[in-house]
Structure 1
Amino acid sequence: MDLSSEPPRVTIRLPRASAARYLLTPSLSNLGAAYVEGAIEVKGAAKDMIAIVNALARTSLKAEGKFARVVRSIGHDKRKDAEAIRYHYDVSNDFYTKFLDPNMVYSCAYFEHGNESLEVAQIRKIDHILKKIQLRPGQTLLDIGCGWGALVIRAARQYGAKCLGVTLSENQFALARERVAKAGLEHLIEIRLQDYRDVQGQFDRITSVGMFEHVGLKHLPQYFERVNNLLAPDGLVMNHGITSTDPDNGETPYGGGEFIEKYVFPHGELAHIGHVLKAMQQGGLEAFDVENLRRHYALTCALWTDNFEANADDIRVLAGERRFRIWHVYLAGCSYAFEQDWISLYQIVCGKAGRSSAALPWSRDYMYQDKAAAAPSLGAH
């Protein structure tokens, strides 16, 4: 009996009696799959849905003694990695416009006060990255996993850098080239549909934002070694990516990792920050600055979820009900996971071991100087 006078925040409806099995053995994976496949109907705000589902999962798994996170071993090669990228990013460009900021930045934003618009916070993130690596006019910049081109456009326009952006997504490649042309920056920016492992030459600065999660745990040393080989002797690298908070590199707990692997990011693996720093050192790179932006990503995902829900009807038309449900669970679930410290986000500035540190000032004050203040737009919609 519910004696509360308040209406329920979340309602779970079972269209068929057989769906009760999902509630008898609940986990984030099982209940998420049941929602996606239409076996159960859930009404309520996404953040409340995730909290309730997590409470059910925790109760069930506690009773069964299943607290341990699953550690998977996933094979990676160029073909598999390209297929995984296309699965996630080649939904449609219009789909992503419905919840990202106008400049289509699909990675953790950077907030100064926590009340800025998503657009301003995303531009601030890009500037935070480019200031951290001391980007200067005329320097060459490689952006690994360039997305729709927001970072290279900002780097060329505001900092005068000569940029190469590479992506494995055909949709991102096409729109990024279009945006670069519209911005009149083709003389400074080249976009390629190319694996970073096939890039030749050396670059003064390298950025990798939201990409290394696709590399695979076993391949992180080789990834950083390749980045090292692409870096000029006194160059600097920014590696910005999601990490596991489990020292053993385990998945998001209570079945969350299983759901993401099955429905959202095939072959994605998260490493603990300690594992990342070890792999970085094995690749010949030295970490100079490490910053945790976990709560920034929790807020970013919450704002994406708000946009997603505000455009629910349009998204259902673009992607269909099933994909709508997948992404609804995914975005809200990621916000919750960052809030709960199940996963985290680190920015790491690094360079060639024993060589590149001279390119940086002695203190961190330079990172917070308003050399390129956040503008209302990148000018490449």
Structure 2
Amino acid sequence: MADAAPRLHALVEQLLGAPFPVRVRAWDGSQAGPPDAPALVVRNRRALRRLLFKPGELGLARAWVAGDLEIEGDLYTALDLLAGLIWERGEDARTLGQALRDPDFRSAVRGLLKLAGPPLPPAPPREEVRRTGHLHTRRTDRRAISHHYDVGNDFYALVLGPSMVYSCAYWESADSTLERAQHDKLELVCRKLDLRPGARLLDVGCGWGSLAVHAAREHGATVVGITLSQEQAAFARKRVADAGLTDKVEIRVQDYRDVDDGPFDAISSIGMAEHVGSAKYLEYAQVLCALLRPGGRLLNHQIARRPQRDESTYGVDSFIDAYVFPDGELAPVGTTVGQLERAGLEVRDVESIREHYALTLRRWVARLETDWDRAVQLSSPGRARVWRLYMAASALAFERNQIGVNQVLAVRTPESGDSGMPLRARTWN
């Protein structure tokens, strides 16, 4: 008898102590739950075993990446409905120990174990990264960057479009094109840094060379771009050569800690500081400060999280850490500003562009979904599923103000106190 979905739906509601807001379609073809809601498709019993033996976000991620779970219907709507049960339970939610003292909770777990059946769940999908050794050494940072960025330049071109900019765009309106918005972001960065002909720019985490090419071609800057990704560097060098800018742009595979040919007039760090780690952040800021000439500017473009009451639980068993940005860490914007100033920089402007990232991510997801078969061919089914979930969930997180993104403009102000900044702020707008 096809009754797995009704049993599963009832057991999940019993376990959560709350209504389950999506429909469930099980491996036996049965369905249960709100008929007009998106469906959580449980393709096999293995999905339940993954969830039961690793409860929470990581178990869900493993089942999703392996293809044991799927969403039927609008992904954003489903994630929005599930967010309150998965990611937003709150710090006052019951601990597992408290839950296990509840007879109804224990009964639901027994029912799910029976429904899941033997044996134990399989190993995690091959796309999952296992953390080993010390964090944020040169070796572990190279490995983490390679995991995320050496997926294949063709895959990223499919998702990002011709700009090959993998950071938040800057939108004039939601009706603008992705290409226009990314161009405007590159231009905004260059204007904030006051780049002029002959200015020397260090682009830390230069990606596929988009900012380096724009700064040299449109503003006459001389640029050193550094990345830890071999694939990015190869792509960026070809791009520089094709643009006829080899006399102005140098692309290196180099750790920011190993740059020794300063000073620079300006430094850009766009979407790179998230990889630095909280324990290394002050060192990162000090290194960049030392590489700037007196009066030089730093533009630090970085995703920020909201402060938590219990900071010790941040990132534990996280989908993002296991599948997307291994060893990456987000910090509250106040922490970032404090560390930059501790390093000797004067923070002159902080601009939140949170809504801009939500728009950017939705465009990337649309590109991925439109050419899904090609994306799978260029990477793997699991890798394409990782990117789809990560970008869609991130778009919702930006829209809900759970995370933000900020451009922090800082100056290495000389002892004279003359920062070189205009008297009226934001003359670049």
Could you tell me the TM-score, scaled by structure 1's length? 0.87
Instruction: Pick the aligned partner of 2:292 from 216, 231, 245.
Output: 231
> Residues 77 and 302 (structure 1 numbering): CA distance in 2 closer, same or farther, change over 3 Å?
same
Output the amino acid matched with 1:134: D
Unpaired segments ≥5 residues, structure 1: 67-71, 369-381
SS of 1:163's equivalent in the other structure is strand
Aligned to 1:14: 42
Worse overlay, 37-46 or 138-147? 37-46
Query: Which amino acid is 1:48 matched to?
Result: T
Paired amino acid for 1:78:
R
1:260 aligns with 2:289: no
Asked whether the 8 Å contact 1:74–1:267 carries over to 2, the reply is no
CA offset digits 1:262-312 (Å, max 9, x no partner): 011110001111111111112111100000111111111111111111111
Q: Provide the rounded CA distance (Å) in 1 between the counterparts of 2:286 and 2:309.
A: 22
Which position in structure 2 is the counterpart of 1:342?
A: 402
Counterpart in the other structure of 1:115? 175
Counterpart in the other structure of 2:94: 64
Determine helix, strand or coil for the equivalent of 1:155: helix
Any conservation in 1 of the 2:376–2:384 contact (CA below 8 Å)?
A: yes
Q: Which moved more, 1:54-63 or 1:212-221?
A: 54-63
- For residue 256 of structure 1, report the CA deviation from its aligned partner: 9.2
- Larger RCO, structure (CA 8 Å, separation 6 or more): 1
Q: 1:322 to 1:290 in 2, by over 3 A?
A: same
* Aligned-residue offset at 1:123: 0.6
Per-residue CA distance 1:235-275 (angstroms, 9 max, x = gap) = 1110001111115695998x897000001111000111111
Deviation (angstroms), 1:58: 5.4
2:85 corresponds to 1:52: no
Listed one character per residue, the Cα deviations across residues 169-191 of structure 1 (whole Å, up to 9, x for unaligned) are 00000000000000001111111
Q: 2:279 aligns with which of 197, 211, 218?
A: 218
Give 1:136's match in structure 2, choosing from 193, 196, 201.
196
Residue 204 (1) aligns with residue 237 (2): no
- Report the equivalent of 1:170: 230
Partner of 2:304: 243
2:151 to 88, 91, 105: 91
The question of whether the paired residues in 2 share the 8 Å contact of 1:74 and 1:216 is answered with no
1:192 — aligned with what?
252
Between structure 1 and structure 2, the one with the greater Rg is 2
* SS in structure 1 at match of 2:409: strand
Q: Cα offset for 1:65? A: 5.2
- The within-5 A match list for 1:257-336 is 258-336=318-396
Return the alpha-carbon distance in structure 1 between the equivalents of residues 168 and 134 of structure 2: 25
Contact 2:155/2:375 (CA < 8 Å) preserved in 1? Answer: yes
Query: Which is worse superposed, 19-28 or 173-182?
Result: 19-28
TM-score, normalized by length of structure 2? 0.78
Q: Distance in 1 between matches of 2:331 and 2:309?
A: 8
The 3 A distance-change label for structure 1 pair 315 and 123 is: same
Residue 64 of structure 2 corresponds to 35
> RMSD across aligned C-alpha pairs, in angstroms?
2.8
SS in 2 for 1:138: coil
Separation in structure 1 between the aligned mates of residue 258 and residue 46 of structure 2, nearest angstrom? 51
- Measure the CA separation in 1 of the matches of 2:170 and 2:344: 29
In structure 2, the CA distance between the partners of 1:132 and 1:252, relative to structure 1 (3 Å rule), is farther
Deviation, 1:19, is 3.3
Change (3 A) 1:18 1:234: closer
Q: 1 CA distance for matches of 2:272 and 2:35? A: 42
Letter in structure 2 aligned against 1:229: A
Q: 1:165 to 1:252 in 2, by over 3 A?
A: farther
Give the SS at the match of 1:236. strand
Segment of structure 1 superposing worse, 238-247 or 179-188? 238-247
Moved more, 31-40 or 108-117: 31-40
Alpha-carbon distance in structure 1 between the residues aligned to 2:44 and 2:75: 23
Query: In 2, Cα distance between the equivalents of 1:288 and 1:59?
Result: 34
1:181 corresponds to 2:241? yes
Give the C-alpha shift of residue 8 in structure 1.
3.6
